[in-house]
């Protein structure tokens, strides 16, 4: 049994470095294209205002005109810089991932069973390739034959090799990873350009990032506020003319830019991109920003036991015959029923029986020679596997399923099943032609540290539910050891799906962790579906997140990042609106004090002149964006708390802070700006 431990994610820097700014500047200038700014109406209005003041400054040059013009352009640039810096954080990882896309030689299996050399770019979904030790896997696929140790460090960042094998939930392999030992046969599952690595590159670069519903709604609100202030400023021109106040178009444009919510408008995209980036740094790939946002509202977490709460590679440790059945008879039946079972558990039974002196190869040969054996593969629906040969019908599987097939259980078998289950093991009952022969004891191990992580989830108000195909006694024992809140035992794929729908109908947001093909429907239905990277291709395609470390407790990080994203967006929106309210007191009294001397009472900052007030406000409006870029990238620190407590903290810290900051900042700038000749 091998385990992997991911290195701690590097902490995002709290300040903008010169290198970051240098790398982001070209992208920031490209984003000044009005077509790029159409998605950010607030910044588009600022750019239009900058164009207007540029024309005015060229036609009628003035010191104030050029200062306002320069700082309006800088305001737009700072807004695009925030988004460019956020996107730039994924460039390095994308560059390393592109190294995996080099053309790889492959050996494709032909119709006659031979092998032909082809390039990886020529492979299509459904092709079967053979990969041996030292070779690079040419494309995404599922192992259909063999078992091998695979180096996935280029994708996951984890140096420890992992085991990939046919059958079970550890069959998926990623193109570009390297086989370290043995030989596997892989069926390709992706077309060129649509591989897992291709999707990773698109995600970390942000080229496929779609705006979330909350982000779209906030953008609509900001656009509406901008329209309102455009109308207000246009009305002020007529009002000023009627009042004989000297208000120019240049001043009205400056006023408009200072009053519209430029701060949150400039940082909104950066906040969303940074949230995705924080997940990538923890080796989680979110297929959409909607999933990250939904994670912040999750209140029910469903976890598959095998491979999620436990390590998943259960091993046969003991054969427990029923009274009147010899150990040899049980061993033979268990071996025959496992010949077609390609799951790790089935292989472990074959290994255990071989240690008792039985030869698996000779058993298969003998079975095939006895008139053509019919192998019954394991399925999640029947929860059994077995063989029909020479008039014998042998089955093994979950106790309830085999008992129902055999026509009923016995007290002796029930006692063995209960004893194995109460110890935390998994009992597989073996039967032949209606006769229960005994039990195979499978051992599973709960992952280290998972109980502590579940306690943290509980502190966040998240209820955990373990879902498993095991019987209730086994499930209860594992659940108690792991510390989950509830259990759904003997669950079929339909049961998992029904439970998720039931929770959602109750108004709850549901997150699901899983790694098997039978988890795929539930992963697709869940609001947040996190598939383990060790899982099957079907599971990874059904989920909207993939955990590269295959650590189910990572969902705690996902939930924290989702909540942090929502809190950061709310905090900066609160700051931006409060900021704008404070700027009213800086600019409006300065504009109309000559026409209405009574307004001088509102000039609480006692600014030097109307011109100095306007220039100081414009400069402050631009600088505050730069000051908040690190916070938008890093995110507001999340601490488990109620919604009312979080709202109170936002209002006190960012609401009051947003009101105070402009008074201090604009006054300090006024002291400097008033020294400029010509103002």
Q: Do the annotations mark residue 385 as ligand-binding?
A: yes
Q: Is 103 annotated as a binding residue?
A: no
Number of Cβ within 10 Å of residue 422's Cβ equals 12
Q: Is 384 assigned a ligand-binding role in the annotation?
A: yes
φ, ψ (nearest 5 deg) of residue 32? -70, -10
Q: Is 159 annotated as a binding-site member?
A: no
Residue 361 known to bind ligand: no
| Residue recorded with tokens 């010169």 | 18
What is the C-alpha R_g of the chain? 32
Query: Binding residue per annotation — 590?
Result: no
Please report, to the nearest 10 degrees, the dihedral formed by the alpha carbons of residues 22, 24, 25, 27 taken in order: 150
381 is in an annotated binding site: yes
d(C-alpha 350, C-alpha 353), whole Å:
5
What does the alpha-carbon distance between residue 283 and residue 6 come to, in Å, rounded to a whole number?
8
Of the candidates 142, 304, 527, 557, the residue annotated as catalytic is 304
Q: How many CB atoms neighbour CB 668 within 10 A?
A: 12
Choose among 376, 377, 380, 340: nearest CA to 469.
380
User: 587's torsion region: left (phi>0), alpha (psi -120 to 50) or beta?
Assistant: alpha
Sheet holding 545-547, edge to edge: 284-286, 545-547, 528-532, 510-514, 300-304, 463-467, 486-488
Report the sign of the C-alpha dihedral through residues 82, 87, 90, 91, in that order. Answer: negative
Instruction: Give the alpha-carbon dihedral of 557, 559, 562, 565, to 10 degrees.
Output: -60
Is 458 part of any known ligand binding site?
no
Tokens of 455: 């306690």
136 belongs to an annotated ligand binding site: no
Q: What is the dihedral of CA 154, 159, 164, 168, to 10 degrees?
A: -100
The C-alpha atoms of residue 363 and residue 341 are separated, in whole angstroms, by 14
Q: Is 304 a catalytic residue?
A: yes
DSSP code for 428: E
CA distance 214 to 229: 23
Q: Say how many C-beta atoms besides its own lie within 10 A of residue 267's C-beta.
A: 28
> Is 383 known as a binding-site position?
yes
Question: Which spans in 161-248 are helix H?
Answer: 196-205, 213-242
User: Is 274 within any annotated ligand binding site?
Assistant: no
- Give dist(CA 574, CA 568) in Å, integer: 10
CA dihedral (169, 175, 177, 183) in degrees, to 10, reads 70
- Known binding residue 380? Answer is yes
DSSP state of 99: G
Q: How many other C-beta atoms lie within 10 A of the C-beta of residue 248?
A: 15
Instruction: Round to whole Å and give the CA distance between 56 and 48.
Output: 13
How many angstroms from the chain centroid is the CA of residue 70? 40
Question: CB 420: neighbour CB atoms within 10 A?
Answer: 26
580 labelled as ligand-binding?
no
Distance, CA of 593 to CA of 600 (rounded, Å): 6
How many whole angstroms separate alpha carbon 115 and alpha carbon 123?
A: 13
Assess contact for 399 and 413: CB atoms under 8 A: yes
Task: Write out the binding residues for Mg(2+).
Answer: 515, 519
Task: Write out the binding residues for ATP.
Answer: 341, 345, 378-385, 396
Q: Which residues are catalytic?
A: 304
Task: Write out the binding residues.
Answer: 341, 345, 378-385, 396, 515, 519
């Amino acid at each position: 049994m091998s385990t992997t431990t991911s290195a701690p994610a590097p902490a995002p820097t709290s300040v903008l470095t010169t290198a970051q700014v240098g790398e982001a500047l070209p992208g920031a200038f490209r984003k000044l294209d009005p077509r790029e700014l159409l998605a950010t109406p607030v910044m588009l209005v600022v750019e239009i205002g900058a164009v207007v003041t540029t024309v005015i400054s060229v036609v009628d040059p003035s010191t104030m005109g050029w200062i306002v013009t320069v700082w309006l352009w800088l305001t737009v640039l700072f807004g695009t810089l925030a988004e460019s810096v956020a996107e730039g954080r994924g460039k390095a990882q994308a560059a390393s991932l592109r190294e995996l896309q080099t053309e790889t030689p492959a050996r494709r299996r032909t119709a006659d069973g031979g092998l032909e050399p082809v390039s990886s770019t020529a492979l299509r979904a459904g092709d079967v390739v053979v990969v041996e030790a030292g070779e690079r896997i040419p494309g995404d696929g599922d192992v259909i034959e063999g078992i091998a140790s695979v180096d996935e460090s280029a994708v996951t960042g984890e140096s420890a090799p992992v085991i990939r094998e046919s059958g079970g939930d550890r069959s998926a392999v990623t193109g570009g990873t390297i086989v370290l030992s043995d030989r596997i046969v892989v069926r390709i599952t992706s077309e060129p350009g649509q591989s897992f690595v291709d999707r990773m590159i698109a995600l970390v670069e942000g080229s496929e990032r779609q705006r979330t519903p909350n982000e779209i709604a906030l953008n609509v609100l900001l656009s509406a506020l901008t329209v309102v202030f455009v109308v207000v400023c246009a009305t002020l021109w007529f009002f000023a003319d009627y009042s004989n106040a000297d208000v120019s178009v240049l001043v009205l444009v400056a006023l408009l830019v200072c009053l519209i919510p430029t701060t949150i408008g400039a940082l909104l995209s950066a906040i969303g991109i940074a949230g995705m980036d924080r997940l990538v740094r923890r080796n989680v790939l979110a297929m959409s920003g909607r999933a990250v946002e939904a994670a912040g509202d999750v209140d029910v977490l469903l976890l598959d036991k095998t491979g999620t709460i436990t390590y998943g590679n259960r091993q046969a440790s003991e054969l427990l015959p029923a009274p009147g059945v010899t150990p040899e008879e049980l061993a033979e039946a268990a071996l025959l029923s496992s010949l077609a079972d390609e799951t790790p558990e089935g292989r472990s039974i074959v290994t255990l029986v071989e240690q008792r002196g039985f030869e698996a190869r000779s058993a298969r040969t003998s079975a095939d020679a006895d008139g053509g054996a019919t192998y019954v593969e394991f399925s999640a629906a029947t929860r059994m596997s077995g063989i029909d040969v020479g008039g014998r019908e042998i089955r093994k599987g979950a106790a309830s399923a085999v008992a129902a097939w055999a026509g009923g259980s016995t007290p002796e078998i029930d006692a063995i099943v209960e004893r194995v289950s109460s110890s935390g093991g998994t009992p597989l009952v073996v039967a032949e032609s209606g006769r229960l022969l005994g039990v195979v004891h499978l051992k599973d191990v709960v992952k280290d540290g998972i109980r502590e992580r579940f306690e943290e989830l509980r502190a966040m108000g998240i209820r955990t539910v373990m879902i498993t195909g095991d019987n209730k006694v086994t499930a209860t024992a594992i659940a108690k050891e792991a510390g989950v809140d509830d259990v759904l035992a003997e669950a079929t794929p339909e049961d998992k799906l029904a439970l998720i729908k039931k929770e959602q109908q109750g108004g709850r947001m549901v997150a699901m962790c899983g790694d098997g093909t039978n988890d795929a429907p539930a992963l697709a239905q869940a609001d947040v579906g996190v598939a383990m990277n060790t899982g099957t291709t079907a599971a990874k395609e059904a989920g909207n997140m993939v955990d590269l470390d295959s650590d189910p407790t990572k969902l705690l990080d996902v939930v924290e990042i989702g909540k942090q994203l929502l809190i950061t967006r709310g905090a900066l929106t609160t700051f931006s609106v409060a900021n704008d309210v404070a700027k009213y007191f800086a600019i409006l009294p300065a504009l109309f004090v000559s026409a209405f001397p009574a307004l001088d009472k509102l000039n609480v900052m006692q600014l030097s002149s109307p011109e100095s007030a306007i220039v100081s406000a414009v400069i402050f409006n631009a600088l505050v964006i730069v000051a908040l870029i690190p916070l938008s990238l890093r995110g507001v620190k999340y601490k488990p708390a109620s919604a009312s407590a979080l709202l109170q903290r936002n209002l006190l810290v960012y609401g009051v802070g947003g009101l105070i900051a402009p008074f201090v900042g604009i006054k300090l700038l006024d002291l400097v700006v008033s020294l400029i000749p010509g103002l």
